[in-house]
Amino acid sequence: MAFKIGDRDMIIPHPFPYQGSKRNIAKSILRFFPDSSEGLIEPFAGSCAVSIAAAFFSKAKTFILNDSNIALMSLWDMIIKKPRELATQYRILWIEQQGNERSYYDAIRKDFNKSHNPAFLLYLLARCVKGSIRYNSNGEFNQSPDNRRKGMHPDKMEANIYNVSELFTGKIKLLNSDYKEALKLASSEDIVYMDPPYQGVCNKRDPRYISGLTFSNFVNTLNELNNRNISFILSYDGRTGNKTYGKPMPKSLSLHKIEINAGPSTQATLLGKRSLTHEALYLSPALIERLKDIEPRKLIHQPRQLSLFEYAQV
């Protein structure tokens, strides 16, 4: 049974867990969206948590979702265009695994690495450790299963897939390219939400990289967006307690930094500590200009860093 779309008390649908997903803070991020935007562009889409929330709350008329991961974008294509077929295939996999979950996962992972079947990827994401896509040096998916989880129940999966498909049908363009290609399509009427892979969670500890992207190259791209008057929101660094991740964005970009309280850090909780995680958002000058018409106007232009609670509920 599908959840009814439009009922604001219903849960926002999500077909799969994904490491780094912004699902928990998507609604907080939407507070910084202008009242009306033609399009929302997500160049580092992943599980598309912000786009799904934006579609759910009608924050944009059209959507461009891009990710460099080809298998992931094939999965999104099927979620949106063939929801019934995908839900049926997932149900078959989920039922077939019963009583044999570990070896079944291994067999599907092997098959996925040969066929790249999107239904297999959905099953793997539903069951793998931390919803984390990992590949070996041959480009094969090699993440282990989380043996405590059997994966989302097929009834719930079906409802999630159908609802996400309905939210996006007729309004979406999917791309599988480098983030810069997606940014070429942005206009000043749009809003761009960017969530590049973090330094904090990637293996590469070199601060000149944002997991594969050169920091200086990325900063140049942001500068070009400013020159084109593009409204964008960047999720970039963050901190847990006093520990900050990520090299600060240069002042020359004139970005407005906001911190969102993302709740207790899982790592700290495991260690018996009580540190809170704060995720940073950077708002572009063009976006700040569009937001100044919403209340409270005076707070938008204050130079000091604002807490989320100082902003009006959007």
Ligand X SMILES: C[S@@+](CC[C@H](N)C(=O)[O-])C[C@H]1O[C@@H](n2cnc3c(N)ncnc32)[C@H](O)[C@@H]1O
Binding site for ligand X (CB under 6 A): 18, 20-22, 43-44, 46-47, 49, 66-69, 178-179, 195, 197, 212-213
Backbone angles phi, psi at 52, to 5 degrees: -65, -45
| Residue 154 beta carbon to ligand X: minimum distance, rounded to whole angstroms | 22
**DSSP bridge pairs for 145:** 128
Measured from the CB atom, is 213 or 253 closer to ligand X?
A: 213
Nearest residue to ligand X, by Cβ distance, number only: 46
Between 178 and 310, CB nearer to ligand X: 178
Residue of 148, 138, 164 whose CA lies nearest to 55: 164
Q: State the DSSP string of 84-130.
A: HHHHHHHHHHHHHTTT-HHHHHHHHHHHHHHH--HHHHHHHHHHBGG
- Residue closer to ligand X by CB (options 127, 300) is 127
Smallest separation (angstroms) from ligand X to the CB of 28: 13
From residue 220, give the alpha-carbon distance in Å to each of 4, 48, 239.
Answer: 43, 25, 24
For the bound state, the minimum distance from the C-beta of residue 194 to ligand X, rounded and expressed in Å, comes to 9
Give the DSSP letter of residue 248.
Answer: P
CB closer to ligand X, 11 vs 312: 11
Dist. CA 131–CA 108, nearest whole Å: 16
- Shortest distance (Å) from residue 190 CB to ligand X: 17
Strands 276-283 and 256-264: antiparallel
Q: Min. distance of Cβ 39 from ligand X in angstroms? A: 17
Q: By C-beta, is 182 or 300 nearer to ligand X?
A: 182
